[in-house]
Amino acid sequence: MKLLCCIALLICPLLFSAQNQYDFPVDNINALIQNGTCIVNHSEFDIGSISDVFDGNTSSLARSANINPLVITLTFPFPVSFSGSEVFHSYGDGWWSLEVADTEDDLLSQSGTYEQLFSMSALMDAVPQIKTFDLQSKRIIRMTVRRTSGDDYVHLNEWKLINAFASVELTSICIEPSEVWLLPDSEFEVSATGRDAQGLSYSLQTDINWNILNTDICSIAPENGKAVVNAGDTGTTWLTATWKGLEKHIPVSVVNQFKPMTSATRPVNVVLVIIDPPIEAEEGLRFHQRFGWDDPINLTNALRDSMNSAGAGAVSYQIVDIYDEAILYTDFQGTIITVDSMYRMFLEPGWTTFHQLEQIGGSIQFDYNGLLTAHNFCSQSDSGQIDEIWVYSMPFTGMYESRLTGEGAFWYNSPPLSGNPCIGQLPIMGFNYERGVAEAMHSFGHRVESAMAHTFGRWDYGASEKNDWEKFASYDEAVPGQAHCGNVHFPPNGISDYDYENQSFVSSQAGNWAYYPFLFQFEKTFNCMEWGCSHLGYMSWWFHHLPHFTCRNKDGILNNWWAYIVDYQEGKLLETETSACICKYVEDMTSTLSAIERTKIEIYPNPSQGFVTLDLREVQHEELTLEIYNPYGVKVKRVFIKGYELEMLDLQDLPPAIYSVLIYDGTGTMKSQGTMIIISH
C-alpha cells in the first residue's frame, strides 16, 4: 500500500510541557469505529451494517446472514468503564450474554482478566432489555445474541453501553484542519483534538482557548470547543489553540482564489468481460450487430475516458484484460440459458417473455460466482492484478448495475455477493450495450452513492446536522433552499426521477465543492443549461464535483472520495495513514507563507544525511531558539543559536523522516519555519 498523501509539508509548532488527563464519554461508538479507535469484529450481516447497531435508532437494524448466535466484539485501546448495557432485538425472542477482558487471549481462554457479566439473559421481541452491574473497566467487550424463535436470522436494532467513559493521557493537541483557506466574506469551522502517546485522536470540547494573531485578516467565534473563522482582509495569519498548557498553531490564509491539491492518481486495473457471443442462426453475427446496438468495445473505451475525465486526475481507469465470452451466465428459472434461446426471445415482439419473467422475482439471475470461478477472478483480485470487473452484456441477463463481493462487502445498489473465495473487496459492474455511456455512468453513479453512504454511515436528507455526503447529494425538492449537487436521479433543480432537462432555475451551492473540504455557502442560480440539459451532461457535471483532494476532513474522512469508490478497504486504511495535524491542502502554501512572514530560513543540503547548514542571514536576531518536530507533531530537538548567520547542525541522532523546523526569537515570537528531510545516514 502506497501512502497517497503529500509528503512535502510546512507545519507549525506543537508544544507541550506535561501529559494531561482527558476524561470523555464513550457515547458515540460509531464515531470511534469510523476513526479507527475502536476495532469491531462481528458475524456477517446480510442486511444493514454495524453502524445501524450504534446509531441510536431502533427502526434501523443489522441482520445476521443466517448465523445464530450473532456475536459482536468491541476492542478499545484504553479501558472503558461502564455499569450497564441495553439491547433492542426484534423479529423473535432470544437471549443475550456479555463478556469482558483486557486482552484477546484472556477473552478466548476465559482466564486472567476475563469476566462474564451475565449469561443467557432473556430477550423479548421488540422490547428494550437493560442489565446493570458493578462498574467495569475493560478494553474488550463481547456481546452474544441468540434468536430462539423463528429462523436463524438475528435482527439486532440497537446496542448501548450505559454510563460509559474513559480516561487517557494527552501528550499533544491538533487543530483540524492543519491549514485554513478562506475566500473573502467566507467562514469555516475548525476543531481541536488531543493526541495520546499511541497517536490516537480525541475530540476536545472544553477548556479550549482560541486566539488569532492578526484580527484584521480574520476573526474567530469560539463555541463548544470549536471555533468559526471569519474572513477579513486578504493575507495570512496564525490561529492558536491552547488546552491545559498544550498549544498548537496553524496558518490561516484569506485569498481571492485557491485550488486544493488533487490527490495522487490511483491507477485502476479493470478486466472487461464481454457477453456478446456470435449467433449461429445469424451466420455468426453478434448480438450487438444483429439488433443494432453499440459495440461494447467502443462503449468501454468511451466510458473509461469519461470516468478518467470525471476523476480530474485522482483516478486512471485502464483495461488490463478482455474476456470475450462464448456462453451466457444467465439463469432463467433454474437453468442457464443458451445463446440460441436468448436470441429467439429477443425476436419476440415487445420482448414478451423477458418482461413476464422480470415480473416474477428471482426468475432471471446472473451467475456471478460462476463467472468469478471460470476466470479465477478472486485470485487475480487478491493478488492485486485487477481492481474491478466491468461486464458488458445484452439486456435481461439478470445483472445488477453494481455489486460488491469480498470480506466486509456491503450494499452496493445490490446485496453483497457471497459464496466465493474473494478476500479483498471486488466491485463488479454490469453494463448494457443496448444503452449508451450516459446510462453506464448512471450505473456507476449508484455505486458512488452506495460507497459514500457507507463511508459516512448515513444518507438522510432529514438529518438536522448533515454530513458532507448528505450536503453534496442535496437537491432543492428534498432540502428546500439548500441544494448542492443533487444525486444520480435528481439534479439540484429536479422534481422527479431523471429530471435532467428541467428548465427551472435553482439556487445551488454546488460551486463550493471546488474548495473542499473548505465548504462555504456561496450560491449560484442556474438551470439545466449548467450541464447541457442532457443525461450524459449531468452525469459528467455531477462526477466532476466529487471531492478528489488531499488530506482529511473534520470527521477523519479522506477529502478524496474516489479512494472509497475504487476500494473502500483501501480508503479506510489510507485514513489511518493520513495525518490530520500535518497535511498540505493547497499547492502554493510555501510562497504564501514566505511572503507574509517576510523572513525565511534556508536548510541545505535538503534532503540530507544528518548534517545540515542553516542560512539565517534574513532573520534579524541576537538569540534564537530552533525547534524540530517529527511527522507526528512531536518535538524531538531544541537548539539555541547565538549570533551566527550560518549554523552547522549534526542531526545524525534523528531517524530518517520529514521534519518541521521552527525558529523563535528571544521573546518567543515565531520568526520563520521550514521543512527538512533526512534520508538514511
* The three-state (H, E, C) secondary structure of 467-524, written as one string: CHHHHHCCCCCCCCCCECCCCCCCCCCCCCCCCCCCCCCEEECHHHHHHCCCCCCCCE
Task: Give pLDDT, residue 607.
Answer: 66
Pair 412, 430: CB distance under 8 Å: no
Other CB atoms within 10 A of residue 558 CB = 25
Predicted TM-score (pTM) of this structure: 0.76
Q: How many residues in the chain?
A: 681
CA distance 62 to 383: 31
- Residue 112 is which amino acid? G
Strands 246-254 and 335-336: unpaired
Separation of alpha carbons 7 and 462, rounded Å: 39
pLDDT (0 to 100) of residue 609: 72
Q: Along the chain (681 residues), what's the average pLDDT of each consecutive run of 10 residues? A: 30 42 90 85 90 91 94 95 96 96 96 96 95 95 96 96 94 91 95 86 88 92 89 91 90 92 94 97 95 95 92 94 95 89 93 83 89 97 96 95 94 94 96 95 97 93 94 98 98 96 97 95 95 93 96 90 96 86 72 38 70 71 76 73 72 78 73 66 50
The pLDDT value recorded for residue 594 is 34
Please check whether residue 476 is in contact with residue 483, taking contact to mean a CB–CB distance below 8 angstroms: yes
Helix, strand or coil, per DSSP, at residue 616: coil
- Side-chain-facing half-sphere of 574: CA atoms under 13 Å: 28
Contacts of 271 (CB under 8 A, 6+ apart): 319, 320, 321, 322, 323, 375, 377, 380, 386, 388, 389, 390
Cβ neighbours for 237, distance < 8 A, ≥ 6 positions apart:
212, 213, 214, 217, 218, 251, 252, 596
Residue type, 660: S
CA distance 654 to 201: 25
Q: What CA–CA distances, in Å, run from 503 to 287, 472, 494, 544, 583? A: 38, 21, 10, 21, 42
